[in-house]
C-alpha cells in the first residue's frame, strides 16, 4: 500500500519522498535502540544484585544508570532527526507543487507543435501561444521558488541533523568516560579458596561519579561552527498543490531569494541521573 502511495507522488518529488520515508525507518531504529539500551541497563542492575557481591552489585547498578542515560540520548537524537525530516518535507511539498506548472507548460508546448503540423494557419495558434506565455511565466515563478526553498531548507535540515549527531556523540562520550571511572572501584585482585575479600567501601565514590556525569551533562553546550545564510524571509505561494504567482512582476520574483534563516536548532536536554529504586 505504501508503494502505491509512493507511485501517486508527482514524479518531481518521488526521490525525496523515498528518502524521507527511509529516514522514518531510521528514526524508528534509534528509538528502538534507546528502549533496548534501557532494558539492558535494568538487566545489568538486576544481575549485579543477584551476585551477592557488594562491589559488583553497586558498580553494575551505577553502570546501568549510565547505560540508561546513553539510551536516552538515542531517543533525543531520534526527536531531532524528526525535526530534520520535517524540514525536508518542505522541499518535497514544493517539488510536488511545481510539477503541475511544468506539466502545463509542456502540455501547451505539445499542443502548439501538433497544431502547427496539422493546421499551421489555425487561428487557435495565437490563443495557444498566449497561453504558453502565461504558462512559462507561472513556471518561471515556481522554479525560482523551488530553487530558493531547496537551498535554504537543505541547509536548515542538515544543520539540525549534523548538530544532533554531534550532541549525541559528545554526551555519550561524557557518559562513557564517567562509566569507565566506575570500573576502577572493582578490586579484581585474585583470591585463593578460603580467603575473604576486602570489604567494598566505594559507595560514596561511585555515587560521586554519577553526580559528576550529571553535572557535565547539565553544563554541556554546543560548540558548533555557524551555518551561514543569505536567505531572507519571503512568502511561499502554495495553495492546494499549486504554486501561485505573487503580486510582483515575474522576473523579480524568479530571481529573488526566499526561505528562512538557518539556525543551530538542536535542543540540548539532559535529565538527572538517578539510581533505580530497588
In tens, the pLDDT along 1-38 reads 445 454 567 788 899 999 999 999 999 999 999 999 99
Quick: pLDDT tens for 233-242. Answer: 554 444 444 4
Query: Between 103 and 255, where is the model more confident?
Result: 103
- pLDDT beyond 50 at 144: yes
Q: How far apart are CA 223 and CA 220, in angstroms?
A: 9
How high is the pLDDT of residue 275?
Answer: 56
Q: Which of 94-103, 221-230, 253-262 has the least mean pLDDT? A: 253-262
Distance of alpha carbon 179 from alpha carbon 173, whole angstroms = 10
Query: 216-236 burial string, b = 16+ CB within 10 Å, else e?
Result: ebeeeeeeeeebebebeebeb
Other residues' Cβ atoms within 10 Å of the Cβ of residue 59:
24
The span from the CA of 235 to the CA of 261, in Å, is: 13
Share of the chain above pLDDT 70, in %: 80
What pTM, to 2 d.p., does this model score? 0.75
> What count of other Cβ atoms lies within 10 Å of the Cβ of residue 75?
17
CA distance 58 to 255: 66
Is pLDDT larger for residue 228 or for residue 246? 228
What's the CA angle centered on 270, arms 260 and 27, to 5 degrees? Answer: 60
Convert 129-155 to b/e letters by CB count within 10 Å (16 or more is b). eebbeebbbbbbbbebbbbbbbbbbbb
| Segment 179-201 mean pLDDT | 92
The strand pairing partners of 220, in sequence order, are none
How much is the pLDDT for 110? 85
Structural domains of the chain ordered from first start: 15-187+202-255 (1.20.1270.60)
Q: Which of 98-112, 145-159, 264-278 has the lowest mean pLDDT?
A: 264-278
**189: pLDDT strictly greater than 80:** yes
Strand partners, 242: 239
Compute φ and ψ for 90, nearest 5 degrees: -60, -40
Amino acid at each position: 500500500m505504501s508503494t502505491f502511495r509512493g507511485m501517486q507522488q508527482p514524479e518531481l518529488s518521488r526521490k525525496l519522498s523515498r528518502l524521507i520515508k527511509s529516514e522514518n525507518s531510521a528514526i524508528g531504529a534509534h528509538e528502538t535502540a534507546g528502549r533496548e539500551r534501557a532494558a539492558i541497563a535494568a538487566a545489568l542492575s538486576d544481575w549485579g544484585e543477584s551476585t551477592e557481591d557488594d562491589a559488583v552489585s553497586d558498580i553494575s547498578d551505577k553502570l546501568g544508570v549510565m547505560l540508561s542515560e546513553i539510551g536516552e540520548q538515542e531517543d533525543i537524537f531520534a526527536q531531532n532527526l524528526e525535526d530534520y525530516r520535517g524540514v525536508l518535507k518542505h522541499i518535497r511539498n514544493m517539488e510536488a507543487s511545481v510539477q503541475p506548472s511544468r506539466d502545463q507548460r509542456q502540455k501547451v508546448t505539445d499542443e502548439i507543435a501538433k497544431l502547427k503540423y496539422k493546421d499551421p494557419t489555425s487561428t487557435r495558434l495565437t490563443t495557444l501561444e498566449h497561453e504558453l506565455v502565461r504558462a512559462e511565466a507561472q513556471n518561471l515563478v515556481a522554479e525560482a521558488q523551488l530553487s530558493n526553498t531547496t537551498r535554504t531548507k537543505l541547509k536548515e535540515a542538515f544543520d539540525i541533523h549534523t548538530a544532533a549527531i554531534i550532541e549525541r556523540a559528545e554526551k555519550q562520550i561524557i557518559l562513557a568516560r564517567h562509566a569507565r571511572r566506575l570500573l576502577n572501584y572493582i578490586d579484581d585482585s585474585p583470591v585463593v579458596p578460603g580467603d575473604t575479600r576486602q570489604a567494598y567501601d566505594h559507595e560514596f565514590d561511585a555515587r560521586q561519579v554519577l553526580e559528576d556525569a550529571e553535572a557535565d551533562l547539565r553544563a554541556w553546550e554546543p560548540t558548533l561552527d555557524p551555518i551561514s545564510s543569505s536567505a531572507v524571509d519571503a512568502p511561499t505561494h502554495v495553495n492546494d498543490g499549486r504554486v501561485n504567482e505573487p503580486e510582483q512582476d515575474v522576473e523579480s520574483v524568479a530571481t529573488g531569494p526566499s526561505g528562512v534563516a538557518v539556525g543551530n536548532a538542536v535542543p540540548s536536554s539532559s535529565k538527572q541521573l538517578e539510581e533505580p529504586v530497588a
